[in-house]
């Protein structure tokens, strides 16, 4: 593989990656051999997740690559959070544009290392390529479920309370490049009470909550329109495109907040005293269905027709 600008070359670049990575006691063998070797807790359920970001599809050519690197790791950490797991280690595969391979590789790496450092995740390896195409970066993260088990999408029950961990909508203004994976929040919540079902909000609340409903045996849910927390970015976008802030909150995606369901009594206790540093908003209730509905301020209940983002059905970034 030829990554040959600035005279650094593929091996020089990988050597820079290697030196930029702090030591981590989970790592028996890190960057530099044919495989990495990771120490998992004996008996732990290992979680694995992967995500790919493609220039021109998931980010723009002029987006800062430090942020792109941080985002690529961040979205994976958000998936580990959605299982209430602990992230342990990551591997990074990149296809760098030949004309600026070293520069791009180093900038990506800087963002990845910074995000990894914030969550104590070990960078243990990867694959570095260059080509005449656009930049593509794919990160795989390994984590562990806690001894309470991994929280799945499929555990919601009728009468469960539906909660989210933060305000939603409008991330496209810029927040989408700087996800705040809710790893600590998920662990704190899961330690406090039994989370029945959970998902991280990447494709929009309406679409992602539908995943929970479908996986939990085709249940339904009613959301209180007034209770959905609206991010200021959703209001800002609404002023420009005249779609309502609620519509943005339901459909925009890339919020990387958690949506989860718990026993209604647990929800009351949680709202009365949430774990330190954790935000929780009660937005609705699971029922037998059908489907997702919205209850408006005047009491009207209507089917929610908002679609989530679907990469295979065309549409935006």
Binding site for ligand ADP (CB under 6 A): 14, 17, 31-34, 92, 94, 123, 125-128
Shortest separation between residue 12's beta carbon and ligand ADP, angstroms: 12
Which position has the token pair 């705040």? 180
In degrees, rounded to 5, the angle at the alpha carbon of residue 154 between the alpha carbons of residues 148 and 158 is 100
Query: By C-beta, is 128 or 171 nearer to Mg ion?
Result: 128
- Using the rule CB under 5 A, is 25 a contact of Mg ion? no
Residue 34 binding Mg ion, by CB under 5 A = yes
- Residue number of the CB atom closest to Mg ion: 34
Smallest distance, Å, CB 98 to Mg ion? Answer: 23
| Residue 34: CB minimum distance to Mg ion, A | 4
> In angstroms, what is the minimal distance from the CB of 202 to ligand ADP?
24
Report the distance separating Cα 40 and Cα 142, nearest Å: 10
With both helix axes pointing from N to C terminus, report the angle between 101-119 and 9-19 in degrees, rounded to the nearest 10. 20
Choose between 67 and 185: whose C-beta lies nearer to ligand ADP: 67
The partner in contact with residue 162, picked from ligand ADP, Mg ion, none with C-beta cut-offs of 5 to 8 angstroms by kind, is: none
Type and span of the H or E element at 81: helix 65-82
Q: How far is the CB of 134 from ligand ADP (least distance, A)?
A: 17
244-266 per-residue burial string, b: 16 or more CB within 10 A, e: under 16: ebbbbbbbbbbbbbbbbbbbeeb
CA gap 257, 202 in Å, rounded: 8
**Span near Mg ion by CB under 5 A; candidates 7-15, 26-34, 59-67, 202-210:** 26-34
- CB under 5 to 8 A by kind: which of Mg ion, ligand ADP, none does 288 bind? none
189 to each of 130, 196, 237, 317, how far by Cα in Å?
A: 42, 11, 31, 32
CB nearer Mg ion, residue 66 or residue 92: 92
132 binds Mg ion (CB under 5 A): no
At 138, give phi and psi (nearest 5°): -130, 130
Task: List the one residue out of 156, 132, 138 whose CA is nearest residue 221.
Answer: 156
47 makes contact, choosing from Mg ion, ligand ADP, none, with CB < 5 to 8 Å by partner type, with none
Q: Is the peptide bond before 290 cis (omega within 30 degrees of 0)?
A: yes
Decide which of Mg ion, ligand ADP, none touches 304; Cβ closer than 5 to 8 Å per partner kind: none
User: Under DSSP, is residue 121 helix (H, G, I), strand (E, B) or coil?
Assistant: coil
Binding site for Mg ion (CB under 5 A): 34
């Amino acid at each position: 593989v030829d990554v040959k600008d600035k005279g650094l070359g593929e091996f020089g670049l990988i050597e820079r990656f290697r030196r930029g990575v702090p030591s981590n006691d989970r790592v028996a063998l890190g960057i530099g051999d044919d495989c990495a070797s990771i120490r998992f807790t004996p008996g732990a359920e290992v979680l694995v997740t992967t995500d790919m970001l493609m220039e021109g599809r998931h980010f723009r050519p002029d987006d800062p690559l430090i942020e792109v690197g941080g985002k690529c790791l961040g979205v994976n950490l958000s998936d580990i959070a959605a299982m209430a797991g602990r992230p342990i280690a990551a591997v990074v595969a990149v296809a760098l544009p030949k004309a600026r391979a070293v520069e791009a590789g180093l900038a990506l790496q800087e963002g990845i290392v910074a995000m990894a450092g914030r969550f104590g995740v070990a960078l243990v390896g990867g694959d570095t390529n260059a080509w005449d195409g656009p930049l593509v970066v794919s990160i795989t993260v390994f984590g562990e479920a806690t001894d309470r088990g991994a929280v799945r999408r499929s555990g919601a029950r009728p009468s469960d309370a539906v909660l989210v961990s933060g305000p939603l909508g409008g991330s496209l203004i810029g927040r989408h490049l700087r996800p705040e994976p809710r790893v600590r929040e998920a662990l704190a919540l899961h330690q406090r009470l039994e989370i029945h079902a959970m998902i991280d909000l990447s494709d929009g609340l309406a679409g992602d909550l539908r995943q929970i409903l479908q996986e939990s045996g085709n249940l339904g849910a009613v959301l209180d329109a007034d209770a959905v927390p609206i991010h200021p970015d959703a209001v800002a976008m609404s002023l420009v495109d005249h779609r309502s802030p609620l519509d943005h909150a339901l459909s925009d995606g890339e919020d990387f907040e958690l949506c989860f369901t718990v026993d209604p009594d647990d929800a009351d206790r949680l709202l009365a005293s949430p774990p330190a540093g954790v935000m929780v908003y009660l937005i609705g209730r699971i029922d037998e269905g059908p489907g997702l509905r919205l209850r408006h301020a005047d009491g009207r209940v209507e089917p929610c027709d908002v679609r989530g983002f679907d990469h295979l059905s065309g549409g935006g970034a």
